[in-house]
Amino acid sequence: MSAKWIWYSGDFELYHSMLLHTRRKEYEHAYPVMWHLSRPEFTACFTKSVDMPEETRAAVLAHGNGYITVKGRKYPLNTEVSFPAGQYDVTAEVFCLETFPSLYIDSPSLKTDESWIGHFNGGHRKYVGCEPAFTSPQDDPAVFPFAIKVLEPVSVEETNGGKLYDFGVESFGPVTVKRTAVPGRVDVYYGESREEALDTEFAYLREHLPAGEEDAHIPAKAFRYIFLKPENSLKDLSGLSLQACLEYLPIEDIASFTSDDSRLPAIWEICSRAFHLNSREFFLDGIKRDRWVWSGDAYQSFMVNRYLYAEPQITKRTIRALLDRPPYYQHINTINDYSSYMFLAVYDYYFATGDAAFVRDIWDQLSALYRFITERLDAETGYMVARPGDWVFIDWADIDKDGPLCAEQILLYMVYRSMALLSKVAAGNQVDFGLLGSHREANGSGSEADTDPYFTREDFEGRAGRLKERIMKDFWDEDAKAFIDTYASGRHHITRHANIFAILYDFVDDAQKEAITQKVLLSDSVDPITTPYFKLFELMALAKMGRLESVQDYIDSYWGGMIDNGATSAWEEFDPRKSGAEHYAMYGEPYGCSLCHAWGSGPILLLGQYCAGVRPTSVGTETFEVAPKPGRYKSFRAVVPVAGGKVEVTFADGRVTALADVPGGVLKWNGKEAVIPAGEAVQL
């Protein structure tokens, strides 16, 4: 096993989150986040019990200053140290004010890796943090390891007194402006669209390069188009040129999906491109405007990730960044529902990967967030309600929020359920059940993760049961066969959101789900959802209820409509009633709509989970099912990540074939079942 740079658990994520969330710029001014950000610890202690078979000399490297203690003797860091034979504890004290403390030792008998323990002057002892990318003595964990690729423009046009570069598709990266005998100022305007790049008044991103002949290196930004406008206009154009690069994580797709639907390849391509561009230090919302980490966006990104490349490190980094470090002063991103999604996301990650060590490592943060949520509930009803500083979001929609909101309470119910299950994991017990179905517990018993009765499984399940009874009494409208937004206003307003959650999270029985589907999801009398964000939840609910044709039609019309309007990646919002540059407007800004938004990548999840029908059925995906639903597709071929490998599913001529390179799969088709042996194709 190779040596790795190590740090106190969470410091790497906190540091890069701090950098990320203070980089945003709009119209030349800095735009930091509106929520609390924690700093990494300035000091860290790293320790390990060793049994050295013989004396070893090794370089002890650190980003920071301090010392290492070996058998009671202290040695300076960044020197070669002698480790005598025998059993003893090795302890390194490191401090770093600029970034965060980290340590590296690589010798045949002693290496820094996940087995070391870290703490900070009496703080929680945890296994240290590390990343697979940092294994060389020359690595610096404070520098995120992006890959760089030089881009070539598809066209360069002299227009409006400047040069307009078109790179063909959405991109993100640094730019170098090269000047030859151009003494005057040069203005640089970025655009996701041609119109934005040429709009020198309202282009979100721009740089003003002072007079001089030096090449200018501009930090990474989002673009498809870049417009260079020299101070002296046309006279200086011949002396200007530009080199743009793509900055990215080198993650390879595992998944693919093709069918007899000719629009699908282009739809898949824009969804995959948007998702790759927003997969960076963490899962971002969009690459142009915010470039922030939002918990609601990330919750969907975690799901898409599992069905595109199943890369666990970025999911864990994003969860750590969002959890920040207690104590908590506000909800995640200041949004009530975004705090709730965190618990669902952690359980989903655990169920898919079986990574119990990660759950245990973040348990203190989850517990603190749980306390924060429950201490702000209404004392009489137990409902989640808005407190000063809270943002009750759910979606950009006309929701009746004059009182406790039903959608919030269903999410709170899922927080209790998630904590009931995760508490067993944190206590060291293996669990074998999923949030969305029947469950069983593996043999074994043990103490609860926290001896406080507040953190027992019985308390979580009791709270969930009592809350569900109250929700059904206060929010379920038996005549309408649907949940109302809130009872407090007396309007009995019905929107899709709580009803979608009720289906997705099995909050109601099958008959009620079907009634909701007919009365709400398929009804034109209930206002439609316009954002791809919540539309994904609705499409998941429709797919779960067997309405695959509706889902496929919507993918074609909605994402296909983006492509018809020139999209090269998935947009934040698409309204088919708009035309031309109207599509780019949002939030009161002419170019406020992100044209590369992670939450627009939903078809990847929908096609893999529901059409190909691949989903885990036990912890760690040790078992999984392949239950295809072709819908209106006459044929398709899907490759879906599963359990550290992949499964290929093909459908043609009424027959389904599954081929997996890992064991544990079961193929289900037309009432029949067959085990899928690893490496062997099975057909029904």
Average pLDDT for residues 592-598, to the nearest whole number? 97
Query: Residues 382, 420: one domain?
Result: yes
pLDDT band at 442 (very low <50, low <70, confident <90, very high): very low
Query: Residues 492, 631: one domain?
Result: no
- Integer distance in angstroms from the first to the last C-alpha of the chain? 43
120-124, 217-221, 412-416: which has the minimum mean pLDDT? 120-124
Task: Using alpha carbons, select from 552, 539, 590, 595 the residue that is nearest to residue 570.
Answer: 595
Q: Is the pLDDT of residue 445 over 80?
A: no
Q: pLDDT tens digit string along 345-397?
A: 999 999 999 999 999 999 999 999 999 999 999 999 999 999 999 999 999 89
Predicted pLDDT of residue 592 = 96
Tell me which of 608, 635, 660 is where a domain ends: 608
pLDDT band at 313 (very low <50, low <70, confident <90, very high): very high
The DSSP secondary structure of 601-665, one letter per residue, reads -HHHHHIIIIIS-EEE-SGGGSSEEE----TT-SEEEEEEEETTEEEEEEEETTEEEEEESSS-E
Query: Residues 240, 270: one domain?
Result: no
CATH of the domain at 19: 2.60.120.260
- Angle formed at CA 614 by CA 610 and CA 620, multiple of 5 degrees: 135
Average pLDDT for residues 207-236, to the nearest whole number? 88
Q: Is the pLDDT of residue 447 over 60?
A: no
Pairing of β 25-26 and β 29-30: antiparallel
In a domain, 654, yes or no: yes
What's the CA gap between 300 and 297, in Å, rounded? 5
DSSP 334: G
Tell me which of 127, 158, 184 is where a domain ends: 127
Predicted pLDDT of residue 436 = 35
Q: pLDDT tens digit string along 35-86?
A: 999 999 999 999 999 999 999 999 999 999 999 999 999 999 999 999 999 9
Cβ contact 485:408 at 8 Å: no
For residue 307, give the amino acid letter: Y
Higher pLDDT, residue 23 or 211: 23
Query: Residues 541, 393: one domain?
Result: yes
Cβ contact 317:352 at 8 Å: no
Helices then strands, each counted (H, E), the chain? 15, 32
Predicted pLDDT of residue 432 = 44
pLDDT, the chain, mean: 93
482, 488, 489, 492 alpha-carbon torsion, rounded to 10°: 10
Tell me which of 94, 127, 160 is where a domain ends: 127
Query: Residues 55, 89: one domain?
Result: yes
CATH of the domain at 546: 1.50.10.10
Crossing angle for the helix pair 312-323 and 11-20, nearest 10 degrees?
80
Q: pLDDT tens digit string along 521-572?
A: 999 999 999 888 999 999 999 999 999 999 999 999 999 999 999 999 999 9
Predicted pLDDT of residue 233 = 63
In a domain, 400, yes or no: yes
The DSSP secondary structure of 588-602, one letter per residue, reads TBTT-S-SSBGGG-H
Predicted pLDDT of residue 438 = 30
Contacts of 520 (CB under 8 A, 6+ apart): 482, 494, 496, 499, 526
Higher pLDDT, residue 180 or 552: 552
Predicted pLDDT of residue 235 = 65
- The proportion of the chain whose per-residue pLDDT surpasses 90, expressed as a percent, equals 89
pLDDT band at 449 (very low <50, low <70, confident <90, very high): very low
For residue 575, give the amino acid letter: D
In a domain, 269, yes or no: yes
What's the CA gap between 670 and 647, in Å, rounded? 19
pLDDT band at 151 (very low <50, low <70, confident <90, very high): very high
3-state secondary structure string across 511-538: HHHHHHHHHHHCCCCCCCCCCHHHHHHH
Query: Residues 478, 561: one domain?
Result: yes
Tell me if the pTM is above 0.85. yes
Query: Residues 345, 266: one domain?
Result: yes
In a domain, 439, yes or no: no
3 state DSSP class of 373: helix
In a domain, 358, yes or no: yes
Average pLDDT for residues 266-291, to the nearest whole number? 97
Q: pLDDT tens digit string along 573-584?
A: 999 999 999 999
246-250, 457-461, 522-526, 605-609: which has the minimum mean pLDDT? 457-461
The whole domain housing 424 covers 261-428+449-608
149-158, 422-431, 500-509, 646-655: which has the minimum mean pLDDT? 422-431
Predicted pLDDT of residue 182 = 62
Query: Residues 616, 603: one domain?
Result: no
pLDDT band at 452 (very low <50, low <70, confident <90, very high): low
Query: Residues 66, 160: one domain?
Result: no
DSSP 90: E
Query: Residues 566, 586: one domain?
Result: yes
DSSP 391: B
In a domain, 385, yes or no: yes
Query: Residues 72, 211: one domain?
Result: no
Query: Residues 348, 487: one domain?
Result: yes
What's the CA gap between 270 and 222, in Å, rounded? 16
DSSP 359: H
Predicted pLDDT of residue 123 = 67
Number of domains in the chain: 4
In a domain, 253, yes or no: no
In a domain, 440, yes or no: no
- What φ, ψ does residue 655 adopt, rounded to 5°? -120, 150
Crossing angle for the helix pair 295-308 and 336-353, nearest 10 degrees?
20
Predicted pLDDT of residue 231 = 83
